Homo-oligomer: A and B are copies of this chain.
């Protein structure tokens, strides 16, 4: 921590739809102090680090609003299967064999990929969450974390509720404030109604938001209606009081106009995961309708088992392109809206608004640099279009999180890449034996 100067960069602050062709950025501690245009002329002494960013572009770090980091261990293990079979026949049997160190190394692998690809904040709901939190603490990334709560049995409900409380108590605001805890009831189809009511109470007591999977598949919606007098998952959540709490709902693929109106009424935030929803055959979320209704949408990769990478540039690109094609409307989601969704709207979706997701004085210093000296960034007509439509994770060269330089010239300073690969191979040899 200290004072960092980044100079001679293209700067895309994502404050409004514009950018600076040549500018500088000063970081002081964990926050951005100044963003300026032109040459930095005041002398470069008094900085702990000076980064000459000629040929680079600076933008806010990407915010991944939904995922399960440790599922990186299952990347490529189960593809081309529908969600229920994928989950029940492939993922769960492996997850049953997982022990805490698996979750730690799986999370390290995912965080390594995310940091190298410019993601500075990720969201997680899983189990053995101490392992995820430790990986966040050790790596320097920022995260919003929840112990996944499920109520398959009264015993499981009790265990995961207590585990959820224990987790938020232990980890909220830890790791220099980089960890934010939430409660994470998994989904209506894994949490009985009474259990969800309990979770609402717990969330109130601890004054923390909720994250939950909602209306991911048509199957889930139909099953919910059958079991709940015709109520959709969104309608059921309203009835159970979930939306009385600040909530981020992942997926929302199969939501009706009525559902969207309910979500708007409670300002439910949405984690839109276009790639995962495609890959599992879940469908295409009505993102344009949700945006038009005034909802806040962030983007998420979901776990690497259903994506299969954690490249937030691909989610941005997919969000910008998919709805154009589905709706046959070439302006459905603009390049700039997709960029906002991947940065400041994502921060807002995670209830971290006003602090994160832009480059402006006072914002948390999560900054990434991209190498623009590559063919897919020529000619220099429009940097916002280039970010939304041409860029990818491997363009990222440097990453700063919370004012700390964690990736420099494509090397992650805080992690041992070769050790992570070796440990991943080791734990996988046992899990997939």
Residues of A that sit less than 8 Å from B by CB: 72-77, 79-83, 86, 109-110, 112-113, 116, 218, 274-275, 277-284, 304, 307-311, 314, 317, 320-322, 324-332, 334-335, 373-376, 378-383, 385-386, 388-390, 392-395, 417, 420-421, 424-425, 428, 432
B379 near A75 (CB under 8 angstroms)?
Answer: yes
- Given the known interface contacts A75-B390, A76-B386, A392-B392, the answer about A332 and B281 at a Cβ–Cβ threshold of 8 Å is yes
Name the contact of A279 in the complex, choosing from B218, B282, B321 (C-beta under 8 A): B321
* Contacting pair B116 A375 (CB below 8 A): yes
CB distance from A190 to the nearest CB of B (A): 20
Task: Say which residue of B112, B278, B309 sits within 8 Å of A322 (CB atoms).
Answer: B278
Contact among B283, B389, B425 for A307, CB-based, below 8 A: B389
Contact A425-B379, Cβ < 8 Å, known A326-B284, A329-B281: yes
Contact of B325 with A281 in the complex, beta carbons under 8 Å: yes
Interface pairs (12), CB distance under 8 Å: A75-B390, A81-B330, A83-B330, A109-B375, A218-B328, A278-B325, A281-B328, A283-B325, A284-B326, A304-B376, A311-B392, A394-B394
Q: In whole angstroms, what is the CA distance A375 to B417 when docked?
A: 8
Cross-chain contact A284 with B79 (CB below 8 angstroms): no
Q: Which chain B residues lie closer than 8 Å to A392 at the CB level?
A: 309, 311, 392-394
- Interface pair B283/A381, CB less than 8 Å apart: no
A330 near B75: Cβ-Cβ < 8 Å: no
**Which B residues are in CB contact (< 8 Å) with A332?**
281
Report whether over half of chain A's contact residues are helix, strand or loop; otherwise say mixed.
helix
Q: How far is the CB of A383 from chain B (nearest CB, A)?
A: 8
Task: List, in ascending order, chain B residues with CB within 8 A of A275's CB.
Answer: 321
Decide: B112 and A375 in contact? CB cutoff 8 A: yes
- Give, as a whole number of angstroms, the nearest-CB distance from A350 to chain B: 23
Asked if residues A376 and B310 are in contact (CB atoms below 8 Å), the reply is: yes
Determine the chain B residues whose CB is within 8 A of the CB of A317 once the complex forms: 314
Given contacts A279-B330, A330-B81, whether A379 and B322 have CB atoms under 8 Å apart is no
Give the docked Cα–Cα distance between A423 and B254 (Å): 49
Q: How far is the CA of A109 from the CA of B327 in the complex (A)?
A: 32
Q: In the complex, which residues of chain B have a beta carbon less than 8 angstroms from the beta carbon of A81?
A: 330-331
Chain B residues contacting A385 (CB-CB under 8 Å) are 75-76, 79, 308
A395 neighbours in B (Cβ, 8 Å): 394
Query: In the complex, which residues of chain B have a beta carbon less than 8 angstroms from the beta carbon of A389?
Result: 76, 79, 279, 307-309
Neighbouring B residues of A379 by C-beta, 8 Å:
73, 75-77, 424-425, 428, 432
* Contact of A325 with B79 at beta-carbon distance under 8 Å, contacts A330-B86, A376-B113, A392-B394 already known: no
Task: Give the residues in chain B near A77, CB-CB below 8 Å.
Answer: 379, 381-382
Q: How far is the CA of A77 from the CA of B429 in the complex (A)?
A: 50
Task: Kindly state the separation between the CA atoms of A279 and B325 in the bound complex, as whole angstroms.
Answer: 6
Query: How distant is the Cα of A390 from the Cα of B320 in the complex, in angstroms?
Result: 19
User: Which chain B residue lies CB-closest to A115?
Assistant: B375
With A81-B331, A428-B379 already in contact, the answer to whether A278 and B390 are too (CB < 8 A) is: no
**CB closest residue in chain B, given A418:** B373
Which single residue of chain B is at the shortest CB-CB distance from A280?
Answer: B330
Most chain-B CB neighbours within 10 Å: which of A81, A218, A386, A432?
A: A386
A334 and B283: CB pair below 8 A?
no
**CA gap between A243 and B274 in the complex, in Å:** 38
CB distance from A96 to the nearest CB of B (A): 18
Report the separation of the CA atoms of residues A428 and B378 in the bound assembly, to the nearest whole angstrom: 10
Q: Are A335 and B378 in contact (CB under 8 A)?
A: no
What residues of B have a CB within 8 angstroms of the CB of A274 in the complex? Answer: 325
